[in-house]
Amino acid sequence: MHEIADLSLWHSAIDAQEWGAPRPALSGAIDADVAIVGAGYTGLWTAYYLLQRDPSLRIVVLEARAVSFGASGRNGGWCSALLPMGLDAIAAKYSRADAVRLQTAMHATVGEIGRVVTAEGIECDFAHGGYVAVARNPAQLARSHDHVAHLHSYGFGEDDYRVLSADEARRRCAATGVLGGEYTPHCAAIQPARLARGLASVVERHGATLYEHSPVVEIAPHRVRTENGTVNARVVVRATEAFTGTLAQHRREMAPIYSLMIATEPLSPEFWEQTGLHDRETFNDERFMIVYGQRTADDRIAFGGRGAWYHWRSRTAAEFERNASVHHKIHEALRELFPHLGEAAITHQWGGPVATARDWWCHVAFDSATGLAAAGNYVGDGVGTTNLAGRTLADLITGTDSDLVTMPWVGHRSRRWEPEPFRYLGINSLMVLPKNADHREQRTGRRSAWREAALARLTGGTH
């Protein structure tokens, strides 16, 4: 058994032949054109597109554990066009036209990932079925209508985002109490660990060198130092996401927030006939406390949510991934959505951290003078954004003149998180406010203007 085979449902589905032999650790000093720290989606997509631009580049990718160990292997499998920062936040800092450009690029990114997995033969259960959010009380229904109207105000049409009637929403996702909802085609379901590991093999086939079990202890201009080796390179890309805090100089640039998941046993054809999701749409409802689900290729439900506490001084640890109380609440939420699950067994429970910037912005950066590049802080929306980030970094590093290098997230600087105890108190208060808002809406059916405004201010505004 591979050392990370029990990390999640996604890892457990990979057989011994697919795992292959472990990659060696870096030992000694080597030279490269580009050194990439982190073999998650950001690092791998960056390597892939760099080699598409210039196949002669010597690219080294360093991974602290094993490919697919981090969020790239454990996420909910939503290859979406979602951005963690809202369109209004982008428009306020740059312009409405810039907000539309970036969102439109994200729409195209879902298809681009589908193109690559087909062209490169990556078997990751890619199903371009879109995303449905059902509304299950009057407050949620009003919010779904407002959300679609808001997106339409930026010029997006019914082909991008549309309101669903109760019947339309139930045909797609027959959860309890559905009053309506919204739908976008700009999302696909994937098997995330297989995408990560398949992409790693493709990158190696195109000429990159990957080292596993090579934790980086220092990143400096034109140099990366691991515990047992050094890479000297013209460009160094930091793609460390939720594990950025392990590097002392970046400790307050992001906060790791845990998202946990469960998966059912494979469910019967009768269950799916009643439930829908016939195109493997990703799904959730319009509650504030984020939940997310998909119908897997083998007919399970993989379902996750937030709600786990942030840990003092941005600690990450294996024990935080198995939280019985949070996993139980996620199971309760799933049974509330689909009571006809009956006694279906929960076969897998797992979780992991996602990186969150102080202003909820993700970013791409490159300094040609120092050779330092970085991308990240996707707040859980990373399956799609990492691809766009990788393409953008490839263009920045190779000096390619493209529309991507002028996108509003390029060069964005988020303020640093507050020191403790303020970070601990502030982030964990964010876990209380959405719970309270959801409870009130479920009890009264009415929206709370001040709670919605507070959540919008704290989390980057309306998507």
50 and 175 fall within a common domain: no
Residue 98, domain member (yes or no): no
Residue 430, pLDDT score: 81
Residue 87, domain member (yes or no): no
58 and 145 fall within a common domain: no
Domain tally for the chain? 2
d(CA 388, CA 448): 35
Residue 430, domain member (yes or no): yes
Residue 463, domain member (yes or no): no
Question: Backbone phi, then psi, for 28, in 5-degree steps?
Answer: 90, -170
250 and 274 fall within a common domain: no
Alpha helices in 22-134 (DSSP H): 41-53, 71-74, 87-93, 96-119
292 and 365 fall within a common domain: no
Residue 170, domain member (yes or no): yes
Whether 463 shows a pLDDT value over 60: the answer reads: no
Residue 448, pLDDT score: 85
Whether 461 shows a pLDDT value over 60: the answer reads: no
Residue 453, pLDDT score: 83
Q: What is the pTM (predicted TM-score) of this model?
A: 0.97
Whether 229 shows a pLDDT value over 80: the answer reads: yes
Residue 387, pLDDT score: 98
Mean pLDDT of 216-240: 97
Whether 215 shows a pLDDT value over 70: the answer reads: yes
151 and 234 fall within a common domain: no
Q: Say if CB 217 and CB 226 are below 8 A apart.
A: yes
Q: What is the pLDDT of residues 285-343, one digit of tens each?
A: 999 999 999 999 999 999 999 989 999 999 999 999 999 999 999 999 999 999 999 99
| CATH number of domain containing 333 | 3.30.9.10
The band of 1, judged by pLDDT with boundaries at 50, 70 and 90, is confident
392 and 270 fall within a common domain: no
Residue 208, domain member (yes or no): yes
Q: Furthest-apart CA pair in the chain: how many Å?
A: 64
53 and 161 fall within a common domain: no
Q: What is the pLDDT of residues 100-155, one digit of tens each?
A: 999 999 999 999 999 999 999 999 999 999 999 999 999 999 999 999 999 999 99
Structure-block tokens of residue 85: 């920062």
Residue 124, domain member (yes or no): no
Tokens 């689909």 belong to 338
DSSP string covering 324-348, please? Answer: HHHHHHHHHHHHHH-GGGTT--EEE
Give the residue numbers spanning the domain of 245.
9-75+192-254+359-406
What residues have CB less than 8 Å from 338, skipping those under 6 apart? 175, 176, 275, 301
CB atoms within 10 A of CB 321: 21
Q: What is the pLDDT of residues 334-370, one digit of tens each?
A: 999 999 999 999 999 999 999 999 999 999 999 999 9
DSSP character at residue 63: -
Structure-block tokens of residue 167: 């019947």
What is the C-alpha end-to-end distance of the chain, expressed in Å? 41
350 and 273 fall within a common domain: yes
68: left (phi over 0), alpha (psi -120 to 50) or beta: left
Residue type, 36: I
Whether 30 shows a pLDDT value over 80: the answer reads: yes
State the virtual CA torsion across 310, 312, 313, 318 in degrees, nearest 10.
-70
328 and 261 fall within a common domain: yes
282 and 141 fall within a common domain: yes
Residue 460, pLDDT score: 61
Q: How many helices (H) and strands (E) does the chain have?
A: 14, 18
d(CA 151, CA 236): 37
d(CA 82, CA 70): 20
Mean pLDDT of 379-407: 98
Residue 94, domain member (yes or no): no
Residue 452, pLDDT score: 86
243 and 375 fall within a common domain: yes
227 and 262 fall within a common domain: no
| CATH number of domain containing 244 | 3.50.50.60
Whether 195 shows a pLDDT value over 80: the answer reads: yes
Structure-block tokens of residue 5: 């085979």
Q: Say if CB 293 and CB 277 are below 8 A apart.
A: no
- Per the prediction, the chain carries an average pLDDT of 96
